[in-house]
Amino acid sequence: MDAGAVTFPRRSTRRITVGQVPVGDGAPITVQSMTTTKTADVDATLQQIYALAASGCDIVRCTCNDLAAAEGLARIVPRSPIPVIADIHHQYKMALAALEAGVQGLRLNPGNIRKPEHIKAVAAEARDRNVPIRIGVNGGSLDPALYEKYGGTVTPEAMVESAMTEIAYFDEVGFDLIKISVKASNVPLMIEAYRQLAEATDHPLHLGVTEAGPLPGGYIKATAGIATLLAEGIGDTIRYSLTADPVEEAKAGRLLLESYGLRERKNVDLIACPSCGRAEIDVIAVAEAAQLAFAGKELPLQVAVMGCVVNGPGEARDADIGIAAGRHRGHLFVKGINVAVVPEDEMVDTLVEWAEFIAEHGAEAALARVDTEKARREAEKDRAALLEEQGDDANASEQRVDLIHKRFES
Ligand code: SF4
């Protein structure tokens, strides 16, 4: 099977829309994040929302924790480039105020707003305004009654019951524009809770590992939880909860979805070999320079940086464009075909220039603009010279194996 054709079948869910953004029922999986500014500070919040949108965020959440925040939302929502969800804890009146402000979605924490009449008042108002609500169960703020019922510990069953109880209140007022999350900072707990929830309901699910923490551990924990579920077909929208600039959350979410083939590639996918004894350049330094050079350029291409011309072009033949080092020269290849040989210190600039050309005109046009046969001969010359100098075993593995044998034979 062609690698590009491998996909994960998705669980079928209902569809809601958050503003103009569809969620569930096969819609592209969306990336969410949350602003860290005071919502009352309209300019600072909008600035962050624009930065998030530019980094791949589809839906943004802002806290609505007091009257000034609700007033801020009334000014932010009409100027935001992406739908705004109000995050509500404890005060159900803040949910009503946020709806009045015109938000495109609400997030309620069932552990914090527990009176049925309050929950139903919010759901009825949201129903009348056609505004969806996320039931955001959080392992750390589970309803104390459920905590007790399940033996004084947070279990997947308790989290799912919390969500299902909230759905039942919503049902009573005929409201079903729902998505649900059952987040926990413990990754196995979170995974199991979502698996059980996916069995229990067909509402769309919002995935996240809550309080994943600072980088790089936060990336690992969030990815471990979210990616596992996505590979099982579970999840309609995602959020990385990192202790970092929210732009990093948006970028991480976007990258995960692109790497899973669940969203179209927007930016360069930079691949690079891990380097080994054959490397003819400092692969890490060149890959970092390339990453920097491509930052901010919207080129939906896979770009390869390979440490040697012996194996590089072959191993990265599926990349749209790549460069491999050999004898102080950079061998540029497009779809595995050599197109140019440049001095080592021009490798990255050349890579960027060709990538921009391919993004605009296509790989065929790029191949047509040079004498590929000449480039192939040049690459072959360097490749042959390197093989001659290093043999097929640049890491000297076979010599080591011989030495090991000699030790045992002596
Ligand atoms: S053989 Fe070449 S391309 Fe492969 S890891 Fe080593 S340096 Fe990189």
Which residue, by CA, sits nearest to atom 5 of ligand 1? 275
Ligand 1 atom at shortest distance from the alpha carbon of 306: 3
Residue 218 pLDDT exceeds 90: yes
How many A from CA of 384 to the centre of ligand 1?
15
Ligand 1 atom at shortest distance from the alpha carbon of 279: 7
Which pTM was predicted?
0.88
Pocket lined around ligand 1, Cβ cut-off 6 Å: 273-276, 278-279, 306-308, 310-312, 315
Pairing relationship of beta strands 329-334 and 321-326 according to DSSP bridges: antiparallel
Whole-number percent of the chain with pLDDT over 70: 97
Segment 345-384, tens digit of pLDDT: 999 999 999 999 999 999 999 999 888 888 888 888 888 8
Buried b (16+ CB within 10 A) or exposed e, 219-249: bebbbbbbbbbbebebbbbbbbbbebbbbbb
Give me the sign of the Cα torsion angle 163, 149, 196, 192: positive
How many A from CA of 307 to the centre of ligand 1?
5
**Predicted local distance difference test score (pLDDT) of residue 328:** 85
Q: Contacts from 316-324 at CB under 8 Å and sequence distance 24+?
A: 316/271, 316/273, 318/3, 319/271, 320/355, 320/358, 320/363, 321/351, 321/354, 321/355, 321/358, 321/363, 321/366, 322/351, 323/347, 323/350, 323/351
- Domains of the chain in start order, with CATH, are 9-259 (3.20.20.20), 269-390 (3.30.413.10)
How many A from CA of 292 to the centre of ligand 1?
22
Average pLDDT over residues 219-228: 98
Ligand 1 atom at shortest distance from the alpha carbon of 309: 2
**Predicted local distance difference test score (pLDDT) of residue 27:** 97
Q: Of the residues 281, 308, 395, which should be mutated to test ligand 1's pocket, given the most ligand atoms within 8 Å of the CB?
A: 308
Which residue, by CA, sits nearest to atom 2 of ligand 1? 308
HSE, side-chain direction, 13 A CA sphere, residue 359:
19
Q: Of the residues 271, 276, 283, 286, which should be mutated to test ligand 1's pocket, given the most ligand atoms within 8 Å of the CB?
A: 276
138-147, 182-191, 232-241, 308-317: least confident range: 308-317
1-15, 18-32, 152-166, 214-228: least confident range: 1-15
Segment 161-181, tens digit of pLDDT: 999 999 999 999 999 999 999
Average pLDDT over residues 234-239: 98
